[in-house]
């Protein structure tokens, strides 16, 4: 049994549901009854038997203009572990791109970042190349960048705090840097942080990364490690780039937030527009329970 939840135009969903049911039937898929969560008929729920996730999603997306949705292979429960990427997911920026602007290299570094997030470049090689370009930048530029350039994604703190209020453990895992991730995690309420470290000597960046690189395999490993600590663990993950794909695929609910095409296709959920509070709506958490 697959269960889809969609945030879409209610009238469109009601009007086109028969056509969806008919197309599903032609594909050998039995559609369940159309329902709406008790959130003011905002979130539609459709179940299907005999479907694979890809076919089910293709049919739904062909008929509904749903900028927010999620498909699960079981009844949707509240997660007790939330693990998330940081850059362009929990914050609006890519930290290394903004930091590079202080060195007059934003355009060059941003181009490498974009290709890495699209999955066109090896993440570790791309990270080392970008960091090497920052050699000699004063360490003080990091705090200036953090203060002047870095802002939370709309709804990020409310999402984290609400999940915590429901007993969910929260982990921020990033291919970015602790210099940024630690204060961001404190601001949003994450309990644990995993990230890379910029090497500094004599008050300046050395152009190197200290220790092992946090990449896609690290993100997956962190998910597995944290999952093993919690009995009957239900995992929610969010991310936007190619290096988030293994983590998104391994989660019970993997949400691609305004993501690159490969990450969006791999995830079980997607948010193409709007606030991160859409995750709370997909989980069926009423707004009265959201932690302001």
| Residue of 52, 85, 101, 182 with catalytic role | 85
Which residue is associated with the tokens 């990033």? 174
**Rg (Cα) of the chain, in Å, rounded?**
20
Counting beta carbons within 10 angstroms of the beta carbon of residue 126, is it exposed (0 to 12), middle (13 to 18) or buried (19 or more)?
buried
Is 85 noted as a catalytic residue in this protein? yes
CA distance 8 to 6: 6
| Residue of 77, 87, 182, 244 with catalytic role | 87
Is 240 noted as a catalytic residue in this protein? no
CA distance 82 to 109: 30
By three-state DSSP, how is residue 93 classified?
A: coil
User: How far is the CA of 150 from the CAs of 8, 83, 90, 142, in angstroms?
Assistant: 31, 20, 10, 11
CB 46 within 8 A of CB 4: yes
The DSSP call for residue 168 is: -
Active site residues: 85, 87
């Amino acid at each position: 049994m697959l269960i889809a939840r969609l945030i879409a135009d209610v009238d469109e969903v009601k009007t086109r549901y028969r056509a969806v049911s008919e197309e599903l039937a032609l594909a050998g898929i039995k559609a369940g009854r159309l329902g709406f969560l008790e959130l003011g008929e905002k979130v539609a729920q459709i179940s299907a038997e005999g479907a694979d996730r890809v076919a089910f999603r293709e049919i739904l997306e062909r008929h509904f203009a749903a900028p927010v949705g999620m498909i699960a292979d079981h009844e949707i429960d509240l997660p007790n572990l939330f693990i998330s990427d940081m850059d362009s997911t929990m914050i609006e920026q890519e930290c290394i791109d903004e930091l590079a602007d202080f060195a007059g290299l934003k355009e060059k570094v941003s181009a490498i970042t974009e290709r890495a997030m699209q999955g066109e470049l090896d993440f570790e090689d791309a990270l080392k190349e970008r960091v090497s370009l920052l050699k000699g930048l004063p360490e003080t530029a990091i705090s200036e960048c953090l203060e002047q350039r870095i802002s939370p994604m709309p709804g990020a703190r409310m999402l984290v705090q609400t999940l915590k209020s429901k007993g969910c453990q929260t982990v921020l895992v990033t291919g970015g840097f602790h210099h940024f991730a630690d204060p961001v995690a404190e601001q949003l309420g994450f309990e644990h942080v995993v990230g890379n470290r910029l090497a500094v000597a004599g008050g300046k960046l050395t152009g190197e990364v200290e220790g092992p690189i946090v990449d896609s395999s690290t993100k997956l490993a962190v998910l597995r490690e944290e999952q093993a600590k919690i009995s009957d663990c239900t995992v929610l993950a969010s991310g936007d780039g190619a290096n988030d794909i293994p983590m998104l695929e391994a989660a019970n609910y993997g949400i691609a937030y305004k993501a690159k095409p490969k990450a969006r296709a791999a995830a079980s959920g997607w948010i193409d527009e709007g606030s991160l509070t859409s995750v709370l709506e997909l989980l069926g958490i009423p707004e009265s329970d959201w932690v302001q």
